[in-house]
Amino acid sequence: MSRILRKFLLGSAAAISLAATPFALSHFDDKEMQQSYRQSWFAMVAMNFGPMVASVKGEIPWNQEMMQGWANDLETLNTLNVIRGFGDGSDQGTTRAKPEIWENKADFESKLNDLKTATAALQETTTGGDRKAISESVGAVGKACKACHDEYKSEDYLY
């Protein structure tokens, strides 16, 4: 590889890395660590679950390999302890979390566990490749999401 090409590739890689940094850090605020942690977790859930819903609705083409990948990533997110992002005092600041989370912590945690159970089932169902069963499982995850959003997520976007 020529020296000029090598410099060009290294420069391009550096420029792309610098350009992507704001996107990677968009949910990170060192003054509101817990809020940033949970918002990042939910953003990753949305980035994986959203395309699954769009596939089920026929808004994007069905791709079984991608469905499996999204379901696997959702299951991986289940290994993270998102509840630690809801510690005392994290109801203040930049958040869409309603105060009811901290008033009804046991119910909130139960709903979060329902979501984790539904996404685990989705991951298992997706391995079978049965579109109807996958669609039903996507619906179950959607219901688990909605159960929590209805009670604990503000419609006001504060950031």
**Is 11 inside any structural domain?**
no
Residue 105 scores a pLDDT above 50: yes
Q: Which of 87, 148, 152 is nearest to 117 (CA)?
A: 148
pLDDT at 52: 97
* Contact of 135 with 56, CB cutoff 8 Å: yes
Does 1 fall in a domain?
no
The tally of CA atoms less than 13 A away on the side-chain side of residue 19 is 6
What sign does the CA torsion over 96, 45, 59, 130 have?
negative
CA–CA distances in Å: residue 30 to residues 4, 7, 22, 77: 40, 34, 14, 22
Mean pLDDT of 68-86: 95
Domain that holds residue 91: 29-152
Number of domains the chain is built from: 1
Which CATH number fits the domain that encloses residue 113?
Answer: 1.20.120.10
pLDDT the model gives residue 157: 57
Question: What's the mean pLDDT in 24-49?
Answer: 81
